[in-house]
């Protein structure tokens, strides 16, 4: 992207090609990894490698807690990074080969490993891929949205288009994974999800796609927002060189975050949604196999759900513009909660299709608006405290996401284990089926409702224009001065 034709001011309206590079490129880059460390990893461990579901889920869950802590380290690293690619894109570039190697190690786990040796291997390789490689990638990617511009509309478009990219990538992955696993496996009948060779081949295909997508993000975007409210455009570079920036202590940043009520509301929504992702992401595949009795129906359900989500996200841009981010999130979560109730009355495929459509519409509308809320929350925090915390703020947000996902994964594994689930069995016991129904129906209703309550309390949209205008002029909240001036 040539600088000559790009507005590099910090409040610039980002061009459509840059939006697409960030949103669609990032969607495929992150989902290529998520497909193999989140959505289907537990299935690979239990159905292909025959690892105990409680043990596998516990390792993944505990590792995600460590992964969450590493987000804070990643945020600190990014805040201190300075390179010709800026703070974030350099890490997106560096992590491409490292992530590919780490993922291959997961799926090349020797079949001869059993017992404690198998669990140790899972712990080490999973943490290498997720806690180290994916964490730096994801925190850098989320922080990039806040550094591309301070313009709320452009940030919203970035977040919304990224959600569209996530949905498209998820659609391609979910709609084809079972078919491709059987086609690529040396022994397709080994399990309902093929054999290990099929997983490795599919991983290589998706890692190629993900690497190309991540390169598009690196070279198709710009970082315009500099440290400090005074850095308004590239012409201020010389002045910035003469100004020593204070190193904001870790605990000062964390204290500012937890005192930010909008960050708390955002975190409640994140924890709830990510708990559901951890608890129900893999549940859907198990549910279709053992409750509905048709593994292949997973692809149909996922396709319908994802297409509905995609359509809702595209409509969500208009909803967000007309009603604001908060109202879009509240409305979408309410629709999702209602849709999740339907299978309580029937597990027929027709009802499940309606559930998939309602869930897709609800999450599509909510997700389109929610994707960029954290950047507005952190801009409010800068205005309220007199210093930027964008790296640590995104990292802390990601940490809470992973805590929620971790708890969801642990709950899924232990409910399966305690209810008598048997990996690879042709049928499951009534108790195991009941456990899957609780995961698929009950938890989405409960946690979607919790998220909706937090969204109802969020009212930042009303005052954000004033905040953005103040920061553009180098001003903070009344009575607040820049941290550097206060601590000279």
pLDDT (tens digit per residue) in 433-470 = 898 898 888 888 888 899 999 999 998 988 888 888 88
Res 241 pLDDT > 50: no
Give the residue among 130, 142, 136 at the shortest CA–CA distance from 266: 142
Structure tokens at 216: 């598009």
Are the CB atoms for 130 and 63 separated by under 8 Å?
Answer: yes
Confirm whether 234 is domain-assigned.
no
Establish if 240 belongs to a structural domain: no
Q: What's CA 162's distance to the chain center, in Å? A: 10
Average pLDDT score over the chain? 83
Q: Quick check: helix, strand or coil at residue 472?
A: helix
Per-residue pLDDT band for 311 (boundaries 50, 70, 90) equals confident
> Does some domain include residue 85?
yes
Q: Which domain holds residue 351?
A: 13-221+248-486
> What total of structural domains would you count in the chain?
1
Give the tens place of pLDDT for each residue, 253-300: 888 888 889 999 988 998 888 788 767 767 888 888 888 888 889 888
Confirm whether 231 is domain-assigned.
no
Question: What is the CATH number for 389?
Answer: 1.20.1250.20
The dihedrals phi and psi of 462, each to the nearest 5 degrees, come to -65, -35
Query: What is the token pair recorded at 26?
Result: 């990032």
Q: Which helix (H) or strand (E) holds 167?
A: helix 152-184
Query: Residue 323 contacts by C-beta under 8 Å, 6 or more apart in sequence?
Result: 331
Tens of pLDDT, residue by residue over 131-184, are 899 989 988 898 888 888 878 778 878 877 887 787 788 888 878 888 899 999
- Spatial separation of the C-alpha atoms in residues 382 and 482, rounded to whole Å: 9
Question: 18 lies in a domain?
Answer: yes
- For residue 470, tell me if it sits in a domain: yes
Q: Looking at the domain assignment, is residue 241 inside a domain?
A: no
Q: Per the domain annotation, does 238 fall within a domain?
A: no
Max distance between CA atoms of the chain, in angstroms, equals 71
């Amino acid at each position: 992207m040539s600088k000559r034709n790009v507005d590099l001011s910090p409040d610039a309206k980002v061009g459509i090609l840059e939006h697409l590079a960030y949103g669609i490129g990032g969607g495929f880059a992150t989902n290529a990894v998520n497909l193999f460390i989140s959505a289907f990893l537990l299935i690979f461990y239990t159905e292909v490698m025959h690892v105990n579901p409680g043990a596998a889920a516990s390792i993944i869950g505990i590792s995600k807690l460590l992964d969450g802590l590493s987000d804070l380290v990643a945020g600190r690293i990014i805040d201190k990074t300075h390179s010709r690619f800026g703070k974030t894109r350099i890490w997106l570039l560096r992590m491409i080969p490292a992530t590919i190697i780490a993922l291959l190690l997961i799926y090349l786990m020797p079949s001869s490993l059993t017992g404690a040796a198998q669990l140790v291997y899972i712990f080490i390789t999973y943490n290498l891929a997720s806690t180290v490689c994916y964490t730096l990638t994801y925190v850098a990617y989320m922080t990039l949205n806040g550094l591309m511009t301070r313009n709320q509309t452009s940030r919203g478009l970035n977040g919304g288009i990224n959600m569209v990219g996530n949905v498209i990538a998820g659609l391609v992955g979910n709609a084809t994974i079972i078919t491709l696993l059987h086609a690529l496996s040396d022994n397709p009948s080994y399990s309902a999800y093929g054999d290990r060779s099929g997983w490795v081949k599919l991983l290589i295909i998706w890692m190629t796609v993900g690497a190309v997508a991540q390169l598009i993000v690196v070279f198709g975007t710009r970082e315009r927002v500099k440290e400090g409210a005074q850095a308004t455009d590239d012409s201020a570079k010389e002045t910035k060189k003469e100004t020593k920036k204070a190193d904001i202590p870790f605990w000062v940043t964390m204290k500012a975050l937890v005192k930010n009520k909008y960050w708390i509301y955002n975190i409640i929504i994140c924890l709830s949604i990510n708990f559901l992702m951890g608890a129900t992401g893999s549940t859907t595949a198990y549910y279709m196999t053992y409750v509905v009795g048709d593994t292949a129906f997973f692809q149909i359900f996922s396709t319908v759900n994802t297409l509905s989500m995609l359509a809702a996200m595209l409509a969500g841009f208009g909803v967000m513009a007309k009603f604001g981010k908060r109202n879009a999130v509240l409305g979408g979560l309410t629709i999702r909660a209602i849709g999740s109730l339907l299978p309580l009355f029937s597990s027929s495929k027709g009802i499940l299709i309606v559930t998939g459509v309602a869930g897709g519409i609800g999450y599509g509308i909510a997700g389109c608006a929610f994707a960029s809320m954290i950047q507005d929350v952190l801009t409010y925090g800068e205005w309220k405290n007199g210093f930027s915390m964008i790296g640590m703020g995104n990292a802390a947000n990601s940490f809470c996401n992973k805590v929620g996902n971790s708890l969801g994964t642990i709950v899924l594994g232990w409910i399966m284990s305690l209810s008598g689930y048997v990996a690879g069995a042709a049928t499951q016991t009534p108790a195991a089926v009941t456990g899957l129904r609780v995961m698929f129906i009950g938890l989405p209703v409960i946690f979607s409702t919790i998220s909706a309550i937090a969204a109802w309390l969020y009212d930042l949209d009303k005052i954000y224009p004033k905040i953005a205008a103040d920061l553009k002029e180098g001003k903070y909240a009344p009575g607040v001065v820049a941290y550097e001036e206060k601590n000279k």
